[in-house]
Structure 1
Amino acid sequence: MDWPVSVALAQAVPTLPVAPGLHYEPKTDGHWLVMWRTTEPVRLQTRSGREVSAA
């Protein structure tokens, strides 16, 4: 996987779509992060692409 990764952005919609295989994730206050681990230490990335692993 290339670093940084592209992150899907949420959209406001009047009703939730219904179809097999769709999943939903509620967003509350906090940070959106992408996290993964390979043979290297864990890496954390913000939605904007900034690495925040050290924080």
Structure 2
Amino acid sequence: MAIERAVAGDPPERLTPRERAAAVRKLSERGLSAEEIAEHVRCSPRNVYYLRSTFRRAA
């Protein structure tokens, strides 16, 4: 539920690290920029860049 809200642009006040990572992954797949994703999940663009890099390492 929290992930869907974050993807829609209305995240809950707090996301767990796992929820934030899942939302960033889904929004990245949609082609959003780091800045746009950061606005959706209420984090910094730097955090988005970091999470994206962990996805690449895990794949």
Fold match (TM-score > 0.5)? no
Larger helix proportion, structure 1 or 2?
2
Larger strand proportion, structure 1 or 2?
1
Length-normalised TM-score, structure 2: 0.24
Length-normalised TM-score, structure 1: 0.25
Higher CA-based Rg: 1
